[in-house]
Amino acid sequence: MDARPTPEQRELEDAADRLALKLGPSTVGDLDDLERHDRLDAAVAQTGWRALRTGTTTAAMASGVEAAIVVRAFARRACDTAFLAPVLAHDLLRRGGSTGDETDRSIIVSADLQHMAVVRDGGWTDAPALAIDVAGCTTAVALVESGDGFSIAEAMIGARAEGVDLTRPVALIDAGTRCTTSELGVLSRDDITAWEALAVTLTAADLVGAMEGAVALSTEYAKERRQYGAPIGSYQAVQHMLAEAKTLTEGAASALIHAAWAVDALAPDDARAAAAVAKAYAARAARTVCETAIQVHGGIGNTWECMAHVFLRRTLLATELFGGDGPQLELLARQRWGATR
Amino acid sequence: MNFEDSPDEAAFRQRIRQWLADIGDTVKRSHSDDSYWTSLGDWHRTLYDAGFFALTWPAKYGGRELSPVCEVIVDEELARAGAPPKPSLGYLIQGISRHGSEDIKDRFLPGLINGRDRWCQGFSEPDAGSDLASLRTTAVRDGDEYVVNGHKIWTSYSDVAEWCIVLARTDPDVPKHKGLSAFAVQMHQPGIEQRPLRMINGITTEFGQVAFDDARVPAANMIGAPGEGWALAMTVVSHEREPAELGFCARYAKTVGELEDIARRAPAEVSAAQAEQLSWAHVQSEMLRLHTARRLSERIGGITHGPDGSIDKLLMTWVEQSVGHAALAFGGATAIAGGSGELLDTYLYSRSQSVMGGTSQIQKNIIATRILGLPTH
């Protein structure tokens, strides 16, 4: 056992951090800077990191650990480029047996964000659904029930919708949208569970990165903002809120690295349980940490121009996506002692 | 990054699992009654003799020189078997190892490590809790000895300890942090009186108060140099904040496992509120196990004595108190109505975790100033 990242994993984290620092938004105004956005998008495309989870049905090019490292680094700087969804779409297609397809796709989730959208056999969505993290993607994938397992359906992405997350646009998939199921592969229920373990883990990685960003943002502010003739960060009332936020973030990170390792190392149900632990902890922690970031910024924290709400909004999406703390706790109760609800 | 056992680690896990199976239910005991605390010395020696305590310490002091991650394996297997956690002594070993002379280490570490000598820690005083450096116990040089006078409190195991690591003022004329020295004091002598404290869950054999009235200690028993007491105390308390040194992960996982056994026997009778608190306690306890694995992995490259223990302590506190709340949710009503009080006692005991080893507020001060770099007045 050695829970430390390998030298290669450290290098990947440094590279993702550098890219995010250079091209990610550093102010809310930067989110409207389309030229910066396009440069970030092109730089991410050039790294090939969106293809980390391509490969064969039995092995991806890189493990869940590497995928989580990049998701976390991008979230730390609120990067407004598609990453989470294309990585998950690639992983789904890889498990389905589709190799060599390097197109970046979004994924379609149920309108309540809790699970992958499942389309009835015949290839039509029968309820409104949502394609997430759609920047730069023209199509999105969903599941179709097929015998004991699932096949993969693909739909064109329509108009973008206003979502809570300012860094990752979503698009509505209307009931009746045409889906195609050609040659994108077939998955067993175990495949889906293993994929869900990755999906839930990567949302936890997104939460941990956003928490790190929110703690850094508000700690810097507390060192500069002065009231009563001293930096507000010198007062215990403020110090204790930030100390708590830092501690929650470290705890969430510890659960995350195990879940990221478990994605490829453990049996699907065990990997899914590890993901549930990481997500439940991160979801509760992220709420407190991002609310703290707003409070530490005082009145400014409640204005559009402060980055604090960009992190909070990002965590609201990441929390609900594939289930927040409630559904994860319920899954653990069913799995561990046979809870019936 | 790899959480899997190496072949050596897997063999080690198999050995302790087999040993625990062989000794069977004799080791299962609630930590919330007096018999548990009085039997801890026996448990220390049993665990040590079987090769499952002092895993990382140098062989010359009786350690096994194994990888730090073996500590995680011991915690996991003790919890799995429902056995008591390992003795909470690692932080005293850290303090003596870092600050003691070769002579001090040779004389005291083997007995501390193998459990033949019981130790307690005389730091806190009635008027020096969080503000430890204001302590008033004095040690005055008298020939080859020091004479100790003062009053210590919250002294775990003071009732059974042969030795006490006493922090005392040796120089009243310098700033308060600089006038302290540490001593290994023999507890069984006329100048020392020990009185138990009864805690809110009724136990009397964990904490005590110790009165020093012209107690004597050889000058050769000073640990570190004169005036080095504060530095030693900071080494000890920084490690006293680490679940890795305390073995508490095993205690939390054990309680969660017991509550899950109750739930599994009648899942339909578990309310939504109970289910949520139990699952959350499991998430918290798992988080701490993984956090401890991360910290112990960081030690593979050598140990550091930094402020990170304050983060660990705060996490551990939240874990213990979440587990306490789950215990209350399952056993509170029964206990209030006069039934078995074991789960209620687990809850009551959990309240001390945000005080012992430095309050949560002190941990937050340390995290804010020394980790986040926030300014002080």
Residue pLDDT, tens place only, B213-227: 999 999 999 999 999
B266-286 burial: b if 16+ Cβ within 10 Å, else e: eeeebeeebbbbbbbbbbbbb
Interface-testing mutation among A239, A256, A341, with chain B (most B C-beta atoms within 10 A): A239
What number is the average pLDDT over the span B238-244?
82
Residue A123: the pLDDT is 63
**Which of B72, B296, B374 has the CB atom closest to A239's CB atom?**
B374
Q: Does A242 touch chain B (CB under 8 A)?
A: yes
pLDDT at B28 over 80: no
Looking at residue A49, what is its pLDDT? 98
What is the average pLDDT across B51-65?
Answer: 94
Distance between CA atoms of A162 and B215, rounded to whole angstroms?
A: 75
What confidence category does residue A121 fall into, taking pLDDT thresholds of 50, 70 and 90?
A: low
Look up tokens 């280490």; give the residue. Answer: B105
Alpha helices in chain B, H assignment, sequence order: 7-23, 34-38, 40-49, 70-81, 90-99, 102-114, 229-240, 243-246, 248-265, 272-298, 309-336, 342-350, 360-366
DSSP B367: I
- Which pLDDT belongs to residue B250? 86
Window A:268-297, CB contacts with B under 8 Å = 276-277, 280-281
* Burial profile B160-197: b = 16 or more Cβ within 10 angstroms, e = fewer: bbebbbbbbbbeeeeeeeebbbbbbbbbeeeebebeee
pLDDT for position B27? 66
**Burial class (CB within 10 angstroms; exposed 0-12, middle 13-18, buried 19+) of B25:** exposed
* Chain B interface includes A161 (CB < 8 A): no
Nearest to B72 among A1, A239, A329 (CB): A1
Tokens of B132: 């430890």
Residue A2 host element (H or E): none
Which candidate, B338, B335, B360, B357, places its Cα nearest to that of B347? B335
Averaged pLDDT, A53-63: 94
Relative to beta strand A139-146, strand A149-156 is antiparallel
Tell me how far apart the terminal alpha carbons of chain B are, to the nearest angstrom: 41
Among candidate residues B89, B31, B355, B46, the one with its CA nearest the CA of residue B206: B31
The pLDDT value given to residue A158: 83
- Any idea which residue has 């110790």 for tokens? B210
Which tokens belong to B250? 């095993």
B268: nearest CA in chain A?
A: A340
Residue of A1, A240, A260 lying closest to B361 (CB–CB): A240
3-state secondary structure of B288: helix
Q: Do A4 and B300 touch (CB under 8 A)?
A: yes
Distance (Å, rounded) from C-alpha B74 to C-alpha B43?
14
State the Cα–Cα distance between residues A260 and A279, nearest whole angstrom.
11
Q: What is the pLDDT of residues A311-333, one digit of tens each?
A: 999 999 999 999 999 999 999 99
Distant-in-sequence, close-in-space partners of A287: CB < 8 Å, separation ≥ 6 = A315, A319
Tell me chain B's radius of gyration from C-alpha atoms. Answer: 21
Least reliable range by pLDDT among A165-179, A254-268, B240-254, B282-296? B240-254
Lowest model confidence (mean pLDDT) among A95-109, A246-260, B354-368? A95-109
Q: Judge whether B242 counts as a catalytic residue.
A: no
Q: In Å, how far is A34's CA from the nearest CA of chain B?
A: 34
Confidence of residue B60 (pLDDT cuts 50, 70, 90): very high
The 10 Å CB-count burial string (b at 16+, else e) for B332-348 is eeebeeeeebbbbbbbb
A39-42: long-range contacts at Cβ-Cβ below 8 A with a sequence spacing of 24 or more? Answer: A40/A79, A40/A80, A40/A81, A41/A81, A41/A82, A41/A135, A41/A136
- Residue B303, number of CB atoms within 10 A of its CB: 14
Measured from the Cβ of residue A302, the count of other Cβ atoms closer than 10 Å reads: 12
Sign, Cα dihedral of B48, B51, B56, B59 = positive
User: Which run of H or E residues covers position B192?
Assistant: strand B192-196
State the pLDDT at residue B24: 80
Residue B233 confidence (pLDDT) above 70: yes
Q: For residue range B146-160, list pLDDT tens digits in order.
A: 999 999 999 988 999
What pTM, to 2 d.p., does this model score? 0.95
| Residue bearing the bigger pLDDT, A122 or B245 | B245
Q: Is the pLDDT of residue A112 over 80?
A: yes
pLDDT-derived band at B340 (thresholds 50, 70, 90) equals confident
- Region B98-126 average pLDDT: 96
Band of residue A122 on the pLDDT scale cut at 50, 70, 90 = low
Residue B353: how many CB atoms within 10 A of its CB?
19
Q: Report whether B204 contacts B197 (CB < 8 A).
A: yes
Is residue A148 predicted with pLDDT exceeding 90? no
| pLDDT over 70, % of chain A | 98
* Per-residue pLDDT at B304: 78
Backbone angles phi, psi at B250, to 5 degrees: -65, -40
Give the Cα separation of B238 and B94 in Å (integer). Answer: 10
Two tokens, residue A313: 């909004």
The confidence score (pLDDT) of residue B227 equals: 97
Alpha carbon distance A23, B141 (integer Å): 66
pLDDT class for A182, splitting at 50, 70, 90? low
- Choose the catalytic residue: B76, B77, B206, B240: B240
How much is the pLDDT for A95?
Answer: 95
> According to the model, what pLDDT value does residue B29 have?
62
